[in-house]
Structure 1
Amino acid sequence: MKTAIGLLFLFAVINVSYSTSLREFTFMKSLYAREDMPRLVLTSMITRRIDQVKTLYESKSILEDAKIFCNSTEQSLNLLLESMNANDTQNGEFFESYSHIVQLIADVSNVMNLHYVDYLTVNSRDSFPRDELQAMMDAYISDIEMVRMCEVSMGRADRVDMKILERIKSLSNEMRNYTFYRDDSFVSESMSISRKTMDQCLWQFKFLLNKFTSTFIHY
């Protein structure tokens, strides 16, 4: 079994840049900057990704070849999860293998014209289209909720500042309910007041994320 797992990792070795640009890793590494990332967090990432792949499979809009890809991807993720649970995998091997699988999902999502923000972070750029900004904010909230559940399981529930989390959720809801007006037909969208409102929301989101991270690290 270990030989088979070793072959899996051999074929899964990829460019290390994936592990540094993937939002999940960038954010998790910032939270656990002073310690090893808990194994529970890593396995939770795999489990969450499996659920996402299952949701995509159940979508009525995807074609048969995409369903076959989803099945294959779920098998790959389950192999990685089994190896993690058996302690056959080091963190570095996990980062490479998981990043490779996620990159393949991103490639297929791009072919299918699906909205994909796993490689977007709050520091990617200073301005985002509304859909991307909203999806990215929701992705970070999902990351925080996942970490919160892991920390609760490890007996460290107080490590997650719930007040900051609620403010982040509130900001996301404001974004979702915000009416994007076209201020002036002679003003480009990038210079519109509504666009600048989105940029203000992005700044607030960055600020709250940094505050959350600092509180988490210094727990």
Structure 2
Amino acid sequence: MKATIGLIFLFAVINVSLSLTLRELEFIKGLYPHEDIPKLLITSLVNRRIDQVRTLYERESIGKDAKTFLNTTNQSLQLLLEAMDSNNTQIGDVLENYSQIVGIMEDVSHNMEVPNFDYLHLNLRSSFDREELQNLLDAYIDDIEMVRMCEVSLGRSDRVDMNIFDRLKSLSNELRNFTFYRDDRYFTESYNICTKTIDLCLWQLKFLLNQFTVIFIKPQI
């Protein structure tokens, strides 16, 4: 009952209108179009965010106001976990409130000088710079690992194609280790080659994620 009242209060206080959906939720919902998202996965999602908040809190560069904000954010996320444990809250309500909390974090991320890629989507635009693509790629890898651990716990490890997962990790390493050489005499040509290399990495990411999703949602025999 306490958790339910707390959630009502949280919902009343938080009034954020987001024009974009969270990348992680968009991806996860795409994996479960015809079934409920496992409660275990949602719990892992919230706990992952709590770990992120705690890591930020420990930074020496974070000011007192930011630490207060992060502490309050942690409490809000913990409240969601309590609500899930009480079985009085629908998964949809948890995801909606989770999105609102993350939206508030995004609003102040620049004040804490923290890069934020929560709303970076593959379909957002046709190209990304190297840093954006690297962070996007690593975020999807982390999502898949979280999904894999959940499915293993549920006895459905076959749903996760590890070959594709390994290809994504290999792509991430390749992108991170790319050395782009510059010759000032041919700067335009060199720049064009670099951007097209990144564009091809983006194509691979889209292709592999599409394959992964198709295999994941394929009915199990």
User: Is this a same-fold pair by TM over 0.5?
Assistant: yes
Partner of 2:13: 11
Partner of 2:170: 170
Give the number of aligned pairs: 217
Partner of 2:195: 195
1:3-82 → structure 2 map (5 Å cutoff): 3-12=5-14, 14-15=16-17, 17-18=19-20, 21-82=21-82
- Describe the SS at the equivalent of 1:192: helix
Q: Percent identity?
A: 57
Deviation above 6 Å: which 4+ runs of structure 1?
none
- Describe the SS at the equivalent of 2:180: coil
- Describe the SS at the equivalent of 2:94: helix
Unaligned runs of 5+ in 2: none
- Describe the SS at the equivalent of 1:125: coil
RMSD after superposition: 1.9
Partner of 1:83: 83
Deviation at 1:17, TM superposition (A): 4.1
Deviation at 1:207, TM superposition (A): 0.2
Q: Aligned partners of 1:158 and 1:41: how far apart in 2? A: 16
Q: Aligned partners of 1:95 and 1:189: how far apart in 2? A: 46
1:55-204 → structure 2 map (5 Å cutoff): 55-182=55-182, 184=184, 187=187, 192-204=192-204
Q: Show CA shifts across 1:124-157 (max 9, x none).
A: 1111111111011111111000000000111111
1:180–1:194 contact (8 Å) kept in structure 2: yes
Q: Show CA shifts across 1:98-139 (max 9, x none).
A: 011101111121222321111011111111111111011111
1:182–1:194 contact (8 Å) kept in structure 2: no
1:13–1:97 contact (8 Å) kept in structure 2: no
Q: 1:179 to 1:15 in 2, by over 3 A?
A: same
Q: 1:86 to 1:111 in 2, by over 3 A?
A: same
Q: Aligned partners of 2:87 and 2:59: how far apart in 1? A: 34
Deviation at 1:41, TM superposition (A): 1.0
Deviation at 1:163, TM superposition (A): 0.5
Deviation at 1:192, TM superposition (A): 1.7
Q: 1:16 to 1:67 in 2, by over 3 A?
A: closer
- Describe the SS at the equivalent of 1:150: helix
Q: 1:126 to 1:191 in 2, by over 3 A?
A: farther
1:12–1:96 contact (8 Å) kept in structure 2: no
Deviation at 1:12, TM superposition (A): 3.3
Amino acid corresponding to residue 192 of structure 2 in structure 1: S
TM-score for the superposition, normalised by structure 2: 0.91
Unaligned runs of 5+ in 1: none
Partner of 1:207: 207
